[in-house]
Homo-oligomer: A and B are copies of this chain.
Amino acid sequence: MEFNKLADALKALGDPTRLKIIALLNMRDCCVCELVPIFGISQPSISKHMSRLKNVDLVTEKRKGQWVFYSLNRQQLEDIGFSLNHLPDFSLEFNELEKQGLLVTCE
């Protein structure tokens, strides 16, 4: 996953409410009106959280009648875990540091 996308996705996950929403969606698709009583926060607040999760492709939505059901994008969640364990190679940065004599080689 592209580096800044990864940071964005982690940021979206780094809120207890959104993380719990992800855990709930991992069990079962949910609509907004189910999440409201679980969290005890307003409907617009839940909607805003869903919007953030959707923006980083962690959830998808599907309208069913008057409800909008949200599903977890498990692939994206896996990709995040994978990316965390396969962080990009930044040796170029160290080469640059060395070129400028800024590497600290201690002991």
Contact of A19 among B7, B93, B103 (CB under 8 A): B7
A83 to chain B, nearest CB (A): 9
Q: Is the Cβ of A65 less than 8 Å from the Cβ of B16?
A: no
Chain A 1-41, CB-CB to B under 8 Å as 1, else 0, gives: 00110111111111110011011101110010110011000
Asked whether any CB of chain B lies closer than 8 Å to the CB of A88, the reply is yes
Q: Is the Cβ of B22 less than 8 Å from the Cβ of A87?
A: yes
Which chain B residue has the least Cβ–Cβ distance from A4?
B16
Contacts from A to B (Cβ < 8 Å)? 3-4, 6-16, 19-20, 22-24, 26-28, 31, 33-34, 37-38, 64-65, 67, 69, 77-78, 80-82, 84-85, 87-91, 93-94, 96-97, 100, 102-104, 106-107
